[in-house]
Amino acid sequence: MVLVFQSDPLDTEDARGRFYHVCLGRMQEAEMPVPPPDQPYACPRCGVELETEDFWIAQVKGSV
Protein backbone atom coordinates (compact mmCIF):
# COMPACT_ATOMS: atom_id res chain seq x y z
CA MET A 1 0.00 0.00 0.00
CA VAL A 2 1.51 3.32 -1.07
CA LEU A 3 -1.44 5.65 -1.29
CA VAL A 4 -4.48 6.20 0.93
CA PHE A 5 -7.61 8.13 0.16
CA GLN A 6 -9.61 9.65 2.98
CA SER A 7 -12.88 11.43 2.51
CA ASP A 8 -14.17 13.71 5.19
CA PRO A 9 -17.98 13.74 5.28
CA LEU A 10 -17.90 16.88 7.43
CA ASP A 11 -15.86 18.82 4.91
CA THR A 12 -18.35 19.93 2.31
CA GLU A 13 -16.03 22.34 0.56
CA ASP A 14 -13.62 19.62 -0.46
CA ALA A 15 -15.84 16.69 -1.31
CA ARG A 16 -13.04 14.99 -3.22
CA GLY A 17 -11.25 14.05 -0.04
CA ARG A 18 -7.54 13.87 0.53
CA PHE A 19 -4.69 11.65 -0.51
CA TYR A 20 -1.82 10.56 1.69
CA HIS A 21 1.34 8.74 0.70
CA VAL A 22 2.26 5.68 2.73
CA CYS A 23 6.05 5.78 2.78
CA LEU A 24 7.91 2.72 3.98
CA GLY A 25 4.82 1.58 5.82
CA ARG A 26 4.10 4.91 7.46
CA MET A 27 1.33 7.21 6.36
CA GLN A 28 2.67 10.70 5.83
CA GLU A 29 0.95 13.61 7.56
CA ALA A 30 1.30 15.90 4.58
CA GLU A 31 -1.51 15.76 2.09
CA MET A 32 -0.53 14.59 -1.39
CA PRO A 33 -1.63 16.77 -4.28
CA VAL A 34 -2.74 14.91 -7.39
CA PRO A 35 0.12 15.19 -9.88
CA PRO A 36 -0.40 16.17 -13.53
CA PRO A 37 -0.77 13.17 -15.88
CA ASP A 38 2.65 13.73 -17.45
CA GLN A 39 4.47 14.28 -14.17
CA PRO A 40 4.11 11.31 -11.81
CA TYR A 41 5.29 11.91 -8.28
CA ALA A 42 8.46 10.01 -7.49
CA CYS A 43 9.12 9.69 -3.78
CA PRO A 44 12.77 10.38 -2.91
CA ARG A 45 12.55 8.18 0.20
CA CYS A 46 10.96 4.92 -0.96
CA GLY A 47 11.28 5.37 -4.72
CA VAL A 48 7.66 4.69 -5.52
CA GLU A 49 6.09 6.44 -8.48
CA LEU A 50 2.56 7.69 -8.08
CA GLU A 51 0.74 8.45 -11.29
CA THR A 52 -2.49 10.34 -11.67
CA GLU A 53 -4.29 7.09 -12.37
CA ASP A 54 -3.16 5.69 -9.03
CA PHE A 55 -4.94 8.54 -7.27
CA TRP A 56 -8.23 7.80 -9.02
CA ILE A 57 -7.93 4.12 -8.16
CA ALA A 58 -7.24 5.04 -4.54
CA GLN A 59 -10.27 7.32 -4.57
CA VAL A 60 -12.45 4.37 -5.56
CA LYS A 61 -10.82 1.62 -3.54
CA GLY A 62 -9.63 3.63 -0.53
CA SER A 63 -6.00 2.70 -1.04
CA VAL A 64 -3.53 1.52 -3.64
- C-alpha triplet 6, 9, 11: angle, nearest 5°: 90
CA distances from 43 to 6, 13, 24, 49, 60 (A): 20, 28, 10, 6, 22
| Residues 4-43 as x/- pattern, contact with Zn ion by CB under 5 A | -------------------x-------------------x
Q: Which is nearer to Zn ion, 4 or 23 (CB)?
A: 23
Q: Minimum distance from CB of 13 to Zn ion (Å)?
A: 28
- Which residues are near Zn ion by CB under 5 A? 23, 43, 45-46
